[in-house]
Amino acid sequence: MEGVDHLAEERNRAEFDVEEMKIVWAGSRQEFEVSDRMARLVASDAVFRKDNRGILGRKELFKNTLRKAAYQEASKLRFFVDEPAFTDLHWGMFVPAIKGQGTDEQQQKWLPLAYKMQIIGCYAQTELGHGSNVQGLETTATFDHETDEFVIHSPTLTSSKWWPGGLGKISTHAVVYARLVINGKEHGVHGFIVQLRSLDDHLPLPGITVGDIGMKFGNGAYNTMDNGVLRFDHVRIPREQMLQRVLQVTREGKCVESNVPRQLIYGTMVYVRQSIVADASRALSRAVCIATRYSAVQDNLVPRMVIDYKTQQSRLFPLLASAYAFRFVGEWLKWLYTDVTERLQANDFSTLPEAHACTAGLKSLTTSVTADAIEECRKLCGGHGYLFASGLPELFAVYVPACTYEGDNIVLLLQVARFLMKTVSQLPSGKKPVGTTAYMGRAEHLLQCRCNVQKAEDWLNPSVVLEVFEARAARMSVARAQNLGKFANPEEGFAELSPVLVEAAVAHCQLIVVSKFFEKLQQNIPGKGVKEQLQVLCCIYALNILHKHLGDFIATGCISAKQASLANDLLRSLYSKLRPNAIALVDAFNYTDHFLGSILGRYDGNVYPKLYEEAWKDPLNDSVVPDGYQEYIRPLLKQQLRNARL
Amino acid sequence: MEGVDHLAEERNRAEFDVEEMKIVWAGSRQEFEVSDRMARLVASDAVFRKDNRGILGRKELFKNTLRKAAYQEASKLRFFVDEPAFTDLHWGMFVPAIKGQGTDEQQQKWLPLAYKMQIIGCYAQTELGHGSNVQGLETTATFDHETDEFVIHSPTLTSSKWWPGGLGKISTHAVVYARLVINGKEHGVHGFIVQLRSLDDHLPLPGITVGDIGMKFGNGAYNTMDNGVLRFDHVRIPREQMLQRVLQVTREGKCVESNVPRQLIYGTMVYVRQSIVADASRALSRAVCIATRYSAVQDNLVPRMVIDYKTQQSRLFPLLASAYAFRFVGEWLKWLYTDVTERLQANDFSTLPEAHACTAGLKSLTTSVTADAIEECRKLCGGHGYLFASGLPELFAVYVPACTYEGDNIVLLLQVARFLMKTVSQLPSGKKPVGTTAYMGRAEHLLQCRCNVQKAEDWLNPSVVLEVFEARAARMSVARAQNLGKFANPEEGFAELSPVLVEAAVAHCQLIVVSKFFEKLQQNIPGKGVKEQLQVLCCIYALNILHKHLGDFIATGCISAKQASLANDLLRSLYSKLRPNAIALVDAFNYTDHFLGSILGRYDGNVYPKLYEEAWKDPLNDSVVPDGYQEYIRPLLKQQLRNARL
Ligand SMILES: Cc1cc2nc3c(=O)[nH]c(=O)nc-3n(C[C@H](O)[C@H](O)[C@H](O)COP(=O)(O)OP(=O)(O)OC[C@H]3O[C@@H](n4cnc5c(N)ncnc54)[C@H](O)[C@@H]3O)c2cc1C
Ligand SMILES: Cc1cc2nc3c(=O)[nH]c(=O)nc-3n(C[C@H](O)[C@H](O)[C@H](O)COP(=O)(O)OP(=O)(O)OC[C@H]3O[C@@H](n4cnc5c(N)ncnc54)[C@H](O)[C@@H]3O)c2cc1C
């Protein structure tokens, strides 16, 4: 059966040019070629094997990851290696923190060392007792006039650093966030570069207690990574090791603010969060690829193709559409980051707050949707989705913390809501909302416009859909703002109304995704049938949201019940339209079987023989009669069990 | 700090009698006392330790479970032992299958052996290629006239039995479902008792290939269980081993139907599914208990109690309310099962279809909600929820297959929808809907009634809420039925409209839960403040559904946008009302720390020191410098790495 493509028939049904769609998905021909080559390299090298993750003990698992990470070039390939490792934090957080918050001299000193990995760093912000509440961090950095040093100290148990990836066993250095104390006076939380381990023997330096925080969700997942705990007992570092692009401490212990605004830190956040959005589309597309292929597996003997059930389609296809939607909004965020960076270099900070709110919101929306979607894809695979070999349990376990790290998703939505409320409150003063909030400038129109959909096909019109989404978002924000106005104390009002404020934020973020998908469709997209498929996907994405959040749309009077029902009719017919293209649309992600790591998602659809083969590899099958039979089962069967213990 | 109750202050705030609530939760004083004693027994016996599950290899994990299961009395304590084991299937599926489908003689022969565990059995229905589609099963049982035997055979790879718990390594017997073939003619799928392993040496009998199917979701979870694969190569069993309560095969090979209707099998399903609903309330309450306690942990130094955030309340409190709601609907289902059993004994099969639809729907609703809720509770605990030590990852991993086994949740909802459509179609003929569909008999009224809520407090009125839920469910079903009527081919229509039919089924099931909660409140419930708390919970449960499914309620004209907004206002004030009672309401579940298996959910709230302590136990902390440093990290830091491999 090897070599047979069980999904060939499905592939033949596609009505568009898959190769062209691959380019669209990758972003450009060049991106496609680089990814394609790297994915194949990783897949073909036994070093990067990952199918044994489920049965490795913690130590073996961890050592295995060190081995993979040791190939220097692997830093570029991390994505395809697909295993959380200390390198993620080194490159993804430690280096950006120095770049974003270090002065030019600091960058010149530390970055070359980090680039060559002569030092390995992590990002130590969260403490055992303090995560989202950064102002609650307890670690102190006290300036010592005598020696011109900072003394880093953990005054309590809850001040122990807790969670930083790469900290537990590997990092030699960390950017540590601590309260700056000078002459007994506090000056807020700042970052400090602290060496943790000797570069000679890797032992923790004096005053430093460091270790791993233990097992996490899943068999493999983040257990390949040494998330760590860290305590300081009066550890001294030179004054120069405070990251001081924004605030400098002089030899005399005076705080001098630089001319760089504090918002600068938003730049780093925009960077990190746009990369999280990109990750979301990858994780989501991966899960969708597995579920779609498995749903189309045809048994030769008993015809069975669950993808033909309309319930299966109504659960699966909106997720497929979301994968594309997130991909394009991620692409746009990448552009936004470049734009923000250029402006920062030109000392233009005007778009930062909006860019910050927008990335915060999109990080929250895309990671929440993706986490739920992976689990839904697992359920879509029935019982087999529950097998480790399906790849979905591990994908879920490794993905879900994205909802928590880099800003808890609810906390982020509250920030977006705050920004929206501010935007609304400034409308009367004539301040023009910019970027993704520009539509608020047309609030007057949006508050009273009426949707004039009269037949199902009217919903195919992008401007109709867009206006409905804008109207819903605007009306929700404005209504919330009005309710806030009823409270004497605005902060109290915000706290009290926070659950519905979060909903307004979600509506705003969904609008962004929809509008960026429509913008993408306005580009010139070559390839037979490619654009048509994307149009179908875009429409499914939008109308599915409309269906799931129907209450919002109807309660705000944006659409009528009749119009909602027409949208549903259209949605059903779009599922039928998408159906023959489903396999090709997931093929366009161009994922190797190695990357997918799923027997159910195999490119060739040869699922059952491979599941069967895989089963026998479990250690439990080493012997026919299991260890424990003699002690526990035989006596039971033979009634020789001591009768009462309890 | 040991012995200090960090949540004491919270407990003092409770406005009701917790001890009385414990009785309500348990069902009766006697139930409470039995559970309480068993939970403590299990918790105090080192045999049942389970905190090490995360770091055990598959073989150790499995052997460990055998050890626990070996205490015969443990069969009663399985719930508190809290580890999936072969005993679950033996008692939960093998025995009930024989009781439900075996003749009196068969029961007399096999049940005593099973009760004494002189044989251990499992339930082998699902095949590698066939789950929900039972009619697609390929295993054959061919009658051999010569020898008066059935020949059990697996004709294809996809006909391999796959998934049965306890099959892989332990079971000596199985109830095997196979297509009955006599003289080349097929007679449907039936159950057969087949011996798999020798009772002397536990080796598989000739013609039998059996093993474990390998790793599943999570570290511990179902990996403690030997879900198995099984193939038959012409295995012979005596004719008497076909379960023949419904259909008998004579010595001559003739099929004789007994006077017991085939629907009898529904009786077993009602039993199994009502127990799954009971499990749902337990799993949900457990997750909620952990998240609630952790949300109320107060740091002595930096005040931080996330339970006071309204967003946290709006996510957590509806889940707390659902735990109670599911508990009460589960209690009612237990009654329903007794009622059904009594009727069956009296040859009254009239209520079976309704009871079957109702349990199928409630199994689907409660397991889906619970699975999602466990993950939401994990997120509610922030980063720490991602630690194995929080107990939530394992609770999720062990719980989610409940959405798939014993009827895939979507497939079950489709069955409910089918029943509802039938009910609606029979209304004109004057047939009175019974039981949980009785409200359909008032369809005429429900299709035109208007909700007259005018201020938030009006939503406190049970009859108002109930009528709104009834109206919504009725209107959704009737509208779907009308749409079905537009299709020439009703089956095609059903398939095409299935996604929205499923929604009507959900609306119906939510109504059942709400109405059973209200019924509970009509009982005499003693104890200071107990009933008041339950009223708050009931109202939160219902109004939260109203909020989440707003589209249904408004689009069908059951309520206005203004009324929805009043419901939201009330919901907010109910959260404030519940807040001081939250800890006591989860204390009422009476779970031991052993059962919860979560550092975050500790009764005494002493979370941080215990998390810190636990971390150091990870094998990775055995040495300060990790294994792998010399090979992979040192050369990296020292730039001695061979430079190009890829
Ligand atoms: C896998 C993983 C890797 C990580 N890596 C790192 C790392 O490398 N470096 C590092 O420094 N940290 C790291 N972290 C920590 C992470 O940043 C924190 O977990 C995160 O900031 C959330 O904080 P918390 O855990 O204290 O949760 P909390 O903030 O305590 O959240 C608990 C609950 O409270 C709610 N909540 C909190 N604040 C508010 C509010 N103001 N309003 C309303 N609701 C609120 C949340 O929504 C949540 O439901 C990592 C975490 C994980 C899981
Ligand atoms: C932990 C675990 C323990 C188990 N224990 C046992 C056991 O002891 N004994 C045993 O015999 N089996 C057992 N099973 C198997 C279980 O009963 C099946 O997995 C279940 O019946 C679902 O079948 P499936 O896996 O083939 O999924 P499928 O039915 O293939 O489902 C895949 C997808 O197709 C959809 N689908 C399927 N049919 C339809 C339809 N008609 N209409 C619309 N959508 C449809 C489903 O909704 C799902 O999204 C176990 C499974 C698990 C995970």
Tens of pLDDT, residue by residue over B419-450, are: 999 999 999 998 899 999 999 999 999 999 99
Residues of B whose CB is below 8 A from A632: 63, 66-67, 69-70
Whether residue B414 has pLDDT greater than 70: yes
The single residue listed with the structure tokens 């594309």 is: A324
Q: How is residue A113 written in tokens? A: 């060392």
Nearest CA to ligand 1 atom 14: A163
The single residue listed with the structure tokens 């080559």 is: A37
Is residue A562 within 8 Å of residue A459, measured between CB atoms? no
Residue percentage of chain B with pLDDT more than 90: 87
Q: Within 10 A of A43 (CB to CB), how many other CB atoms are there?
A: 16
Query: Is A560 exposed, middle or buried (CB count within 10 Å of its CB: 0-12, 13-18, 19+)?
Result: middle
Amino acid at B633: I
* pLDDT attached to residue A622: 95
d(CA A277, CA A355): 14
Q: What is the ipTM of this complex?
A: 0.96
Mean pLDDT, residues A76-91 taken together:
88
Whether residue B614 has pLDDT greater than 80: yes
- Which among B91, B122, B126 is the best mutation to test ligand 2's pocket, defined by most ligand atoms within 8 Å of the CB? B126
Catalytic residue among A10, A331, A406, A470: A406
The single residue listed with the structure tokens 């895989």 is: A614
d(CA A43, CA A340): 36
Give the orientation angle of helix B409-426 with respect to helix B352-380, to 10 degrees.
140
Write the DSSP symbol of residue A397: H
Whether residue B204 has pLDDT greater than 90: yes
Whether residue B10 has pLDDT greater than 70: yes
Nearest CA to ligand 1 atom 11: A125
Whether residue B72 has pLDDT greater than 60: no
Amino acid at A251: R
Mean pLDDT, residues A298-311 taken together:
78
Q: How many angstroms is it from B582 CA to the middle of ligand 2?
A: 37
For residue range B231-251, list pLDDT tens digits in order: 999 999 999 999 999 999 999
Amino acid at A531: K
Smallest CA-to-CA distance from A309 within B498, B405, B420 is with B498
Ligand 2 atom showing the smallest separation from residue A304 Cα: 30
* pLDDT attached to residue A299: 65
* pLDDT attached to residue B372: 98
Verify whether residue A406 is a known catalytic residue. yes
Nearest CA to ligand 2 atom 37: B132
Ligand 2 atom showing the smallest separation from residue B407 Cα: 21
* pLDDT attached to residue B566: 98
Amino acid at A274: Q
Contacts of A524 (CB under 8 A, 6+ apart): none
Mean pLDDT, residues A95-115 taken together:
95
- Per the model's pLDDT, the better-predicted residue between B350 and A252 turns out to be A252
Whether residue B298 has pLDDT greater than 90: no
Is residue A99 within 8 Å of residue A123, measured between CB atoms? no
pTM over 0.90: yes
d(CA A639, CA A636): 5
Phi, psi of A98 (to 5 degrees): -65, -40
Mean pLDDT, residues B459-487 taken together:
97
Mean pLDDT, residues B618-637 taken together:
93
Q: Which of A68-82, A138-152, B206-220, B394-408 has the lowest mean pLDDT?
A: A68-82
Q: Do B564 and A555 touch (CB under 8 A)?
A: yes
Query: Is A300 exposed, middle or buried (CB count within 10 Å of its CB: 0-12, 13-18, 19+)?
Result: exposed
- Alpha helices, DSSP H only, in A486-560? 490-522, 530-548, 550-555
Mean pLDDT, residues B7-36 taken together:
96
Ligand sitting nearest the alpha carbon of B230: 2
Smallest CA-to-CA distance from B143 within B257, B245, B240 is with B240
Report the relative pairing of strands A121-124 and A173-182 from DSSP bridges: parallel
Mean pLDDT rounded to a whole number for chain B = 94
Q: Do B608 and A226 touch (CB under 8 A)?
A: no
Mean pLDDT, residues A115-123 taken together:
96
For residue range B588-606, list pLDDT tens digits in order: 999 999 999 999 999 999 9
To the nearest whole Å, the CA of A346 is away from the closest chain B CA by: 37
To the nearest whole Å, the CA of B149 is away from the closest chain A CA by: 26
Residues of B whose CB is below 8 A from A59: 619-620, 622, 626-627
Instruction: Closest CB to B72: pick one of A160, A565, A643.
Output: A643
Of the pLDDT bands very low, low, confident and very high (cuts 50, 70, 90), residue A75 is low
For residue range A218-251, list pLDDT tens digits in order: 989 999 999 999 999 999 999 999 999 999 999 9
* pLDDT attached to residue A1: 46
Whether residue A644 has pLDDT greater than 50: no
Contacts of A526 (CB under 8 A, 6+ apart): A20
Ligand 2 atom showing the smallest separation from residue B410 Cα: 47
* pLDDT attached to residue A268: 82
Of the pLDDT bands very low, low, confident and very high (cuts 50, 70, 90), residue A642 is very low
Four-residue CA torsion sign, B73, B76, B80, B85: positive
Smallest CA-to-CA distance from A188 within A123, A145, A139, A132 is with A139
Report the relative pairing of strands B140-144 and B185-195 from DSSP bridges: unpaired
* pLDDT attached to residue B605: 96
Adjacent-strand bridge partners of B182: B185
Ligand sitting nearest the alpha carbon of A177: 1
Separate counts of helices (H) and strands (E) for chain A: 23, 11
* pLDDT attached to residue B304: 66
Q: Do A222 and B386 touch (CB under 8 A)?
A: yes
Q: How is residue A244 written in tokens? A: 């001081």
Residue percentage of chain A with pLDDT more than 90: 86
Q: Is the shortest distance between the CB of B306 and ligand 1 below 6 Å?
A: yes
Four-residue CA torsion sign, A431, A433, A434, A438: negative
Whether residue A76 has pLDDT greater than 70: no
Residues of B whose CB is below 8 A from A41: 646
d(CA A437, CA A423): 8
Of the pLDDT bands very low, low, confident and very high (cuts 50, 70, 90), residue B300 is low
Give the orientation angle of helix A352-380 with respect to helix A409-426, to 10 degrees.
140
Contacts of B436 (CB under 8 A, 6+ apart): B354, B358, B508, B512, B515
Q: How is residue A329 written in tokens? A: 């909004």
Amino acid at B45: D
Nearest CA to ligand 1 atom 27: B382
Report the relative pairing of strands B247-249 and A228-232 from DSSP bridges: unpaired
Is residue B159 within 8 Å of residue B137, measured between CB atoms? yes
CA angle B120, B121, B124 (to 5 degrees): 155
d(CA B291, CA A244): 39
Instruction: List Cβ<8 Å contacts ≥24 apart for B457-465.
Output: B457/B570, B458/B566, B459/B539, B459/B543, B459/B566, B459/B567, B459/B570, B460/B535, B460/B539, B460/B570, B462/B518, B462/B521, B462/B538, B465/B514, B465/B518, B465/B539, B465/B542, B465/B543
* pLDDT attached to residue B642: 43
- Which among B302, B312, B392 is the best mutation to test ligand 1's pocket, defined by most ligand atoms within 8 Å of the CB? B312
Of A274-278, B264-268, B640-644, which one has max mean pLDDT?
Answer: A274-278
Adjacent-strand bridge partners of A189: A179
Residues of A whose CB is below 8 A from B77: 646
Q: Give SS3 for B195.
A: strand
Mean pLDDT, residues B90-100 taken together:
94
* pLDDT attached to residue A645: 35
Q: Is the shortest distance between the CB of B383 and ligand 1 below 6 Å?
A: yes
The single residue listed with the structure tokens 């949208």 is: A567
Q: Give SS3 for B121.
A: strand
Q: How is residue B399 written in tokens? A: 């719980």
Is B165 marked as a binding-site residue? yes
* pLDDT attached to residue B643: 43
Is residue A229 within 8 Å of residue A168, measured between CB atoms? yes
Q: Give SS3 for A144.
A: strand
Ligand 2 atom showing the smallest separation from residue B132 Cα: 29
Q: Give SS3 for A69.
A: helix
Q: Do A637 and B172 touch (CB under 8 A)?
A: yes
Continuous segment of H or E residues that includes residue A181:
strand A173-182
* pLDDT attached to residue A344: 84
**End-to-end CA gap in chain B:** 55
Whether residue B76 has pLDDT greater than 70: no
Residues of B whose CB is below 8 A from A644: 73
Is residue B378 within 8 Å of residue B385, measured between CB atoms? yes
Write the DSSP symbol of residue A626: P
Ligand sitting nearest the alpha carbon of B216: 2
To the nearest whole Å, the CA of B526 is away from the closest chain A CA by: 34
Residue percentage of chain B with pLDDT more than 70: 97
Q: What residues flank ligand 2, with Cβ below 6 Å?
A: A 306, 309, 311-312, 380, 382-384, 386; B 89, 123-126, 131-132, 163-165, 222, 227, 401, 404-405, 408, 410-411, 414
Smallest CA-to-CA distance from B603 within B592, B595, B614 is with B592
Continuous segment of H or E residues that includes residue A228:
strand A228-232
Mean pLDDT, residues A85-112 taken together:
95
Nearest CA to ligand 1 atom 25: B383
Ligand 2 atom showing the smallest separation from residue B123 Cα: 9
* pLDDT attached to residue A77: 78
d(CA B317, CA A144): 49
Q: Do B499 and A77 touch (CB under 8 A)?
A: no
Q: Do B199 and A637 touch (CB under 8 A)?
A: yes
Mean pLDDT, residues B481-503 taken together:
97
Q: How is residue B466 written in tokens? A: 């109930």
To the nearest whole Å, the CA of A549 is away from the closest chain B CA by: 7
Q: How is residue A325 written in tokens? A: 């939607």
d(CA A202, CA A217): 28
Smallest CA-to-CA distance from B270 within B351, B176, B157, B347 is with B351
Separate counts of helices (H) and strands (E) for chain B: 23, 11
Q: Is the shortest distance between the CB of A213 and ligand 1 below 6 Å?
A: no
Q: Most B CBs within 10 Å: which of A135, A215, A494, A639, as the mutation test of the B interface?
A: A215
d(CA A454, CA B458): 37
Residues of A whose CB is below 8 A from B495: 309-310
Ligand sitting nearest the alpha carbon of A384: 2
